[in-house]
Homo-oligomer: A and B are copies of this chain.
């Protein structure tokens, strides 16, 4: 059932025990939403617990450290920032068909919960922030830090297309009321591990340019992960790099999987459709970022990739 904000407030008020769920591979928005919601519930005098399928990165210690779960027996189950029941991961086996309320900002939400509040004006944390305001709750710095983490990580620190006036206004209010934004930004956006730096150096040695430097490619092998001590979870900045190079219209990063096979991530500039490039290889994605599987033969995979990129580049000219 689709519900509105008021019905959501009513559900929070009339229940006493809650279990809050984040999606698997938890990010700043699902965790910020979950811990901010738990803080609201604590302030309301409710009992609340939290579950997530995967380990939470120590980057979020400032959130997890401020949370002590209550014992809950027969809780009202809320999933936050979880667009599809599959995204609950392994806790979905136990709770997938028991989600009472889903609070989410993805229009792709599959409405798997009993009650569903889906709004896309801001990150999931933005909805939680507004719920706290609607409830008339006097928030604290911990709550505001959780919300800030969600809205800033969801928008790449206010850089991406999805940044809205609502996001900026929430950031203004958080800053006014006091939030540790500089410390959080440092942890989320500016800290680099030594193993990541090693991986980046090794991977960047493979940087190659094609098609009059309009295409740049980096290749990361399992051997590089082993040598650096890093893994795929830290690859995001490397995946973004080739397309950031001046004049490059198509940036690609090939990553070898644990089974030895290769996958490619393609990022494109305006006017080139990354999903088209990847569709020709049996993959898919969005206009600006897409992916495909290249099989076990790197050289053959690259050849097919370049063929597909050439079609898109030729189409532009």
Contacts and interface: CB of A to CB of B under 8 A. Distances in A.
A230 to B, nearest CB: 12
Contacts of A173: 165
A164 interface: yes
Interface residues of A, number: 35
A159 interface: yes
A207 B67 CA distance: 38
B159 A189 contact: yes
B165 A182 contact: no
Contact of A244 (B161, B169, B190, B204): B190
A266 interface: no
Contacts of A163: 175, 181
Contacts of A194: 213, 245-246
A94 interface: no
A191 B159 contact: no
Nearest to A247: B194
A244 B191 contact: yes
Interface string A181-204: 110010001111110010001001
Nearest to A245: B192
Nearest to A243: B190
Nearest to A207: B197
Contact of A158 (B166, B171, B213): B171
B165 A168 contact: no
Contact of A204 (B164, B197, B213): B197
Contact of A160 (B165, B182, B191): B182
A109 to B, nearest CB: 24
A185 B159 CA distance: 6
Contacts of A165: 172-173, 175-176
Nearest to A195: B246
A197 B191 CA distance: 19
Interface string A7-36: 000000000000000000000000000000
Contacts of A176: 165
Interface string A243-273: 0111000000000000000000000000000
Interface of A: 157-161, 163-166, 168-169, 171-173, 175-176, 181-182, 185, 189-194, 197, 201, 204, 207, 213, 240-241, 244-246
Q: Which 9 A-B pairs have the closest CB atoms?
A: A168-B172, A165-B172, A165-B176, A168-B171, A158-B158, A159-B185, A169-B172, A193-B246, A165-B175
28 contacts: A157-B157, A157-B158, A157-B159, A158-B158, A159-B182, A159-B185, A159-B189, A159-B190, A160-B182, A161-B182, A163-B175, A163-B181, A164-B175, A165-B173, A165-B175, A166-B172, A168-B169, A168-B171, A190-B240, A190-B244, A191-B246, A192-B241, A192-B244, A193-B246, A194-B245, A197-B204, A197-B207, A197-B245
